[in-house]
Amino acid sequence: MENNRFISNDIFLGIFLAIFGIIFTIQATNFPAESSYLPILSGALLTAFSIVVLSFGISKTVKVRQGKADYTKQEIKKLPFIVWLTILLYVFAVDKIGFFVSSAVFLPLESMLFKQRKVLPIALTTVIILGFLYWMFVIQLKVSMPNGILF
């Protein structure tokens, strides 16, 4: 692939998510007033984050075209597939061994895939996220999380 024809996939993703976020936000304004706050906020945040993704995509495209970066390497292209595969395994594991056990394995694994190697931040992040989810859904909202053979 010639560098002067390179267009980052983040540009396409950013445009798609921005359009989706705008449409979602507009549709959410038709909800009853008392229940429209969260959907409107979600749509607005999705739109804002999609603009960030779009700007990163433009930056990547400019860098590659100027010869300052190479985002076409095979290692970079494998990571999304590996992440997708781990998410798929996680979804199946939630049903078999339970939400909390699966998440306790999945979160550190994803952190390591994204080159985070420090054990303490990975462990703290996992404990804080799972603790918050347990507190929010199980204790406060009285919602049972998917149980498997372990927990």
Neighbours of 68 (CB within 10 A): 8
138 vs 1: CA distance, rounded Å: 51
Neighbours of 79 (CB within 10 A): 12
Neighbours of 98 (CB within 10 A): 18
11 vs 53: CA distance, rounded Å: 7
| Alpha carbon separation from 130 to 21, 75, 99, 115, 138 (Å, rounded) | 28, 31, 10, 21, 11
- pLDDT tens series, the chain, 151 aa: 456 788 888 899 999 999 999 999 999 999 888 888 889 999 999 999 999 999 999 998 898 888 888 766 665 668 788 888 999 999 999 988 999 999 999 999 999 988 899 999 999 999 999 999 999 988 988 888 888 776 6
pTM for the whole structure? 0.58
